Chains A and B, each alone.
Chain A
Amino acid sequence: MAELVVEHLKIRLGGIEILKDVSLELNRGEITALLGPSGSGKTTLLRSVAGLEQPYDGRILVGGKPVFDGAKSLNVPTEARGLGFVFQSYALWPNRTVEANVAYALKLRGVAASEQATRVAKTLDSLGLGKLGHRYPHELSGGQQQRVAIARSLVYQPTVVLLDEPLSNLDAKLREEARAFLKELIMRENLAALMVTHDQAEALAVANKILLLNGGYVEQAGTPEEMYGAPKTLFTAEFMGSNNRLNGTIKTVSGQRAALDVAGTAFDGMARCGDKPGGAEGSGVIRLEAVHLVEGAGANRMQFELVTSMFLGSHWEHVFRGHGLNVRAHHRGALQPGQHWLEFPAEQLWIF
Chain B
Amino acid sequence: MPIGIMRRLVLAIMGLMILAPIGIMVYQSFLDAPFFDANAKFSLWAYRFVLAEPDFWKALTTTALLAVGMTAIAVPLGALLAFLITRTDMPGRSWVEPLLLVPIFLSPLVLAFGYVVSMGPVGFITVWWKSAFGSEFWNIYSFSALILIAGLTHAPHVYLYASSALRALPGDLEEAARMTGATPRRVASDVSIPMIRPALAFSGVLIFFLGFEVFGLPLILGDPQGLLVLSTYLYKLTNKLGVPSYQLMAVVVMVILLIALPLVLLQRILLRTAQRYVSVRGKAVRTNLVRLGQWRWPAFGLIAIWFIGTVLIPMMGLILRSFVSSWGLGINLFDVLTLDNYVELFDDTEVVHAIINTVLIATVGGALSVGCYVLIALAQHRWRSGWTRISDYLVMLPRAMPGVVAGLAIFWIFLFVTPLTPLRTTLFAVWIAYTLVWLAYGLRLVQSSLLQVAPELEEAARVVGAKEGRAMRDITLPLIKNGMVAAWMLIVLIFVREYSTAVYLLGPGTEVIGSLVVSRWGGGAVDLVTALSCVNVVLITVGLLVAIRSGVKLHG
Choose one: B460, B470, B474, B475; the contact of A85 (CB below 8 Å): B460
Q: Are B464 and A87 within 8 A (Cβ)?
A: no
A residues near B172, Cβ cutoff 8 Å: none
Let me know if B456 and A91 touch, CB within 8 A. Answer: yes
Q: How far is the CB of B483 from chain A (nearest CB, A)?
A: 13
0/1 string, A97-133, CB within 8 A of B gives 1: 0000000110011000000000000000000000000
* Residues of chain B contacted by A84 (CB below 8 angstroms): 463
- A52 touches which of B454, B462, B474, B479 (Cβ 8 Å): B462
Cβ of B23: which chain A residues have Cβ within 8 Å of it? none
Chain A residues within an 8 Å CB radius of B240: none
CB nearest to B475 among chain A residues: A93
Most chain A CB inside 10 Å of its own CB: which residue of B456, B467, B478: B456
Stretch binding the partner chain, chosen from A59-67, A74-82, A267-275: A74-82
Contact B454 A79 (CB under 8 A): no
Closest CB-CB distance, A314 to chain B, in whole Å?
Answer: 38
Do residues A91 and B460 form an inter-chain contact, with CB atoms below 8 A? yes
B263 interfacial contact with A, CB 8 Å: no
Shortest beta-carbon distance from B345 to chain A in Å: 45
Is B461 at the interface (CB under 8 A from chain A)?
A: yes
A104-B474, A108-B470 known; A93+B460 contact, CB < 8 A: yes
Contact of A50 with B by CB under 8 A: yes
Residue numbers in A under 8 Å from B461 (CB-CB): 93, 104
Q: A95 and B463 in contact (CB under 8 A), knowing A87-B456, A89-B456, A108-B470?
A: no
Given A77-B467, A104-B474, A108-B466: A87 in contact with B479 (beta carbons within 8 A): no
Contact of A105 among B454, B464, B475, B479 (CB under 8 A): B464
A: interface residue count bin = 20 to 34
B465: which A residues are within 8 A, CB to CB? 79-80, 82, 105, 108-109, 156
Is A6's beta carbon under 8 Å from chain B?
A: no
Q: What distance in Å separates the Cβ of B467 from its nearest Cβ neighbour in chain A?
A: 5
| Closest-CB distance, A108 to chain B (whole angstroms) | 4
Q: How far is the CB of A100 from chain B (nearest CB, A)?
A: 10
**A87 and B462 form a contact (CB under 8 A):** no
B343 CB within 8 Å of chain A: no
Do residues A78 and B478 form an inter-chain contact, with CB atoms below 8 A? Answer: no
Please, which residue of chain A has its CB at the minimum distance from the CB of B478? A95
Quick check: is B51 within 8 A (CB to CB) of the other chain? no
B344 at the interface (CB under 8 A from A): no
Task: Select one of A51, A95, A156 contacting B479, CB under 8 A.
Answer: A95
| A94 and B463 within 8 A (CB) | no
Chain A residues positioned under 8 Å from B475 (CB to CB): 93
Is there contact, CB below 8 Å, between B462 and A152?
Answer: no
Q: Once bound together, how far apart are the Cα atoms of A109 and B475, in whole Å?
A: 16
- Determine if A79 and B467 form an interchain contact, defined as CB atoms under 8 angstroms apart: yes
Give chain B nearest CB distance to A154 CB in angstroms: 10
- Please measure, in the bound complex, the distance between the C-alpha atom of A52 and the C-alpha atom of B468, giving whole angstroms: 12
Which chain B positions have C-beta within 8 A of A87? 456, 459-460
- Within 8 Å CB of B466, what residues of A? 79, 104, 108
B457 interface hit (Cβ, 8 Å): yes
**Minimal Cβ-Cβ distance residue in A for B463:** A85
Known: A78-B462, A79-B462. A93 touches B467 (CB 8 A): no
Q: Which residues of the partner chain B approach A48 to less than 8 Å between Cβ atoms?
A: none
User: What is the CB-to-nearest-CB distance from B468 to chain A, in angstroms, rounded to a whole number?
Assistant: 8
Q: Enumerate chain A residues within 8 angstroms of B460, measured Cβ to Cβ.
A: 85, 87, 91-93, 152
Q: How far is the CA of A83 from the CA of B463 in the complex (A)?
A: 7
| In the complex with contacts A87-B456, A104-B474, A108-B470, A50-B479 CB distance below 8 A | no
A93 and B464 contacting across the interface, CB-CB below 8 Å: no
Contact indicator B467/A91 (Cβ below 8 Å): no
Distance between Cα atoms of A85 and B456 in the complex (Å) = 10
Residues of A within 8 A of B464 (CB): 79, 85, 104-105, 108, 152-153, 156
Point out the residues of chain B lying under 8 angstroms from A156, CB to CB: 464-465
* Complex interface: chain A residues within 8 A of B459 (CB): 50, 52, 78, 85, 87, 91
Residue of A nearest to B384 (CB): A14
CB distance from B4 to the nearest CB of A (A): 11
Name the residue in A79, A85, A87 with the highest tally of chain B Cβ atoms < 10 Å from its Cβ: A79
With the chains together, A91 CA to B468 CA distance in Å?
16
Chain A residues with Cβ below 8 Å from B470 are 108
Which chain A residues border B467 with CB–CB below 8 Å?
A: 77, 79
Residues of B within 8 A of A77 (CB): 462, 467-468
Are A78 and B463 in contact (CB-based, < 8 A)? yes
Q: Which of chain A's residues has its CB closest to B460's CB?
A: A91
Across-interface contacts of B478 in A (CB, < 8 A): 95
Query: Measured between alpha carbons, how far is A87 from B474 in the docked complex, in Å?
Result: 19
Residues in A whose Cβ lies below 8 Å from that of B456: 87-89, 91
Bound CA span A182–B475, Å: 27
Q: Which residues of B contact A85 (CB under 8 A)?
A: 459-460, 463-464
A-B contact pairs, 7 of them (CB 8 A): A50-B463, A79-B465, A91-B457, A93-B460, A93-B475, A104-B464, A105-B465
Binding site for A on B (CB under 8 A): 454, 456-457, 459-468, 470, 474-475, 478-479
Kindly list the 3 A-B residue pairs having the minimum CB-CB distance in the complex, ordered from nearest. Answer: A105-B464, A91-B456, A85-B463
Given contacts A104-B474, A108-B465, 19 further A-B contacts (CB under 8 A): A52-B462, A52-B463, A78-B459, A79-B463, A79-B464, A82-B465, A85-B463, A87-B456, A87-B460, A88-B456, A89-B454, A91-B459, A92-B460, A93-B461, A93-B475, A93-B479, A95-B479, A104-B466, A152-B460
